[in-house]
A and B are shown apart, each in its own frame.
Chain A
Amino acid sequence: MTSPALSLSGSASIEGVQVFAPLTFTVPTGQWTCLLGPSGVGKSTILRLFAGLDDGITFDGQIAISDGLTLKGRVSLMAQSDLLMPWLDLPENVCLGARLRGEAADLSRARHLLALVGLSEHLDKRPAALSGGQRQRVALARTLMEDRPIVLLDEPFSALDAKSRAQMQNLAAELLKGRTVLHVTHDSAEAGRRAPPVLVIEPGGITCPTPPTSPPPRAFDAPETQSFDGHLLRLMLETT
């Protein structure tokens, strides 16, 4: 599987109101890129454009994919809410995509992926019997099951408690390695651990601050992670 780079250049509006001014950025191939910014600067709109959920969005510009193919069928999405179906057990939830496309569901692979995210003891359960962190693990297994080269993350960890969030970040970093990941977040600490690259979106455009030299994901308590987090937070504060 080759994971293409994505690039976007243009501006967008919803019902005549501008969501973001003209901007240009590239999400490099096979890397985890954070798109950091305060609420209301159009991060989610950008993600929706890549996901093909562009109903109601007027986009003036273009989206390019490095291998020249379309995005259709090559993107998977993890949202802030786990979006699990309460009437399905965990393996069936993981196989949802196959069911919706009318393909055969590979339940044994689903169980394998659920074990990979640490849920092998909960296979027969329904989502309601799980904690918030466990539910996002199922969502991650579902994303892995889709096996798409491009993964879009819309603040999937933001509703979790600090411990679950840190565990999920590490797990996702490990399991999504090699894919082109665009991770929208408003949490500078989260972005600070992941960089490079971090794109900071602001009303005026996009900047790409110089990240620390150590490879991501960095330790939470490393001084350079902390100082980069502070730097990103300052950037966000100064622009709004």
Chain B
Amino acid sequence: MTRVLRILGVTALGLILWQSVVSATGLPRFILPAPTLVFGTLWDNRALIAEHALVTGAEVLLGLLIGAALGFATALLLAASRLARAVLRPMLVFSQAVPVFALAPILTLWLGYGLWSKIAMALLIIYFPVTSAFFDALMRTPTGWLELAKVMGSTPLRMLWRIQVPAAMPGFASGLRLAAVYAPIGAIIGEWVGASQGLGYLMLLANGRAKTDLMFAALIALAVLTLVLHAAIDRLCRRWDR
């Protein structure tokens, strides 16, 4: 309860500060619209914003789902096979030298203006953090557990599945929490490069027409979407924390 009050307090403080900057400086509304105006626009355009938010939300969720599954599988493969570690790990590290943002135009070229280029962006941006967090956790299994399993006559695969994976779930959870914050960034950049729907597209559109209040409204919707997603993932991950 105190946490909710604190968040509300901080938000109110931010809004008051915003409003006073606008009132004091008299900045024109196409540079910095007042919060009252932004929330008015948000309410008036709620159907439009919800429609675009739904598209962005779907891109983010699908990207998150596929990216997390691929990251989980890759980390398992890396942990299970020395050969995979030797071949894949340098490739993974090298792939991080290419900024994912720079790939957005190429992905749009390959996958078109629809959902899939944005899903691919969200996926790419979270794939490495998830893989790396889960793989590190898999390799940090306490030696005592592994030795016990060895004395018990375990096969390496069963050891991986019955001991290393459950022991590494807190690591996977921290990767997922990061992913929940990163995935929307990927989707929005994908939409900026080329799209006909989504909050990123709506922001570009509003910007082009100097509808700064609508741009801010879309931004607030995006922030709320990310916060809700993060809270949902956090709740889901809590069962794996110890």
Q: Is the CB of B152 within 8 A of A97?
A: yes
CA distance A86 to B167 in the complex (A): 9
| Residues in A neighbouring B147, C-beta threshold 8 A | 51, 53, 77, 79
B13 to chain A, nearest CB (A): 40
Name, among B145, B153, B167, the residue most crowded by chain A CB atoms within 10 Å (CB to CB). B153
Q: Is the CB of A53 within 8 A of B163?
A: no
Q: Is the CB of A85 within 8 A of B152?
A: no
Does B151 have its Cβ within 8 Å of any Cβ on chain A?
yes
Question: How many A residues face the partner with a CB closer than 8 A?
Answer: 22
Closest to B147 in A: A53
| Residues in B neighbouring A215, C-beta threshold 8 A | none
Q: Is the CB of B162 within 8 A of A100?
A: yes
B161 to chain A, nearest CB (A): 9
| Residues in A neighbouring B150, C-beta threshold 8 A | 52-53
Which residues between 132 and 191 of chain B lie within 8 Å of chain A, taking CB atoms? 142, 144-145, 147-155, 158-159, 162-163, 166-167, 169
Does A223 have its Cβ within 8 Å of any Cβ on chain B?
no
For B112-144 the 0/1 string (1 means CB < 8 A from A) is: 000000000000000000000000000000101
What is the interface of chain B mostly: helix, strand, loop, or mixed?
helix
A6 to chain B, nearest CB (A): 15
Q: What range describes how many residues of B lie at the interface?
A: 20 to 34
CA distance A181 to B163 in the complex (A): 27
Closest to A81 in B: B144
| Residues in A neighbouring B169, C-beta threshold 8 A | 87
Known contacts: A53-B150, A85-B166, A86-B242. The answer to whether A100 contacts B145 by CB under 8 A is no
CA distance A97 to B150 in the complex (A): 10
| Residues in B neighbouring A79, C-beta threshold 8 A | 144, 147-148
CA distance A72 to B154 in the complex (A): 12
Q: Is the CB of A101 within 8 A of B158?
A: yes
Known contacts: A73-B153, A86-B242. The answer to whether A99 contacts B148 by CB under 8 A is no
* Candidates B142, B152, B166, B167; contact of A100 at CB < 8 Å: B152
* Candidates A52, A77, A100, A146; contact of B159 at CB < 8 Å: A100
* Candidates A86, A100, A102; contact of B149 at CB < 8 Å: A100
Q: Is the CB of B153 within 8 A of A53?
A: no
Which residues between 167 and 226 of chain A lie within 8 Å of chain B, taking CB atoms? none
A sample of 27 cross-chain residue pairs with beta-carbon separation below 8 angstroms, ordered by A number, consists of A51-B151, A52-B151, A53-B147, A53-B150, A53-B151, A73-B153, A76-B151, A77-B151, A79-B148, A83-B142, A85-B163, A86-B242, A87-B242, A96-B148, A96-B149, A96-B152, A97-B153, A100-B154, A100-B155, A100-B158, A100-B162, A100-B163, A101-B154, A101-B155, A102-B158, A128-B242, A146-B152
Q: Which 3 A-B pairs have the closest CB atoms?
A: A100-B154, A97-B152, A77-B151
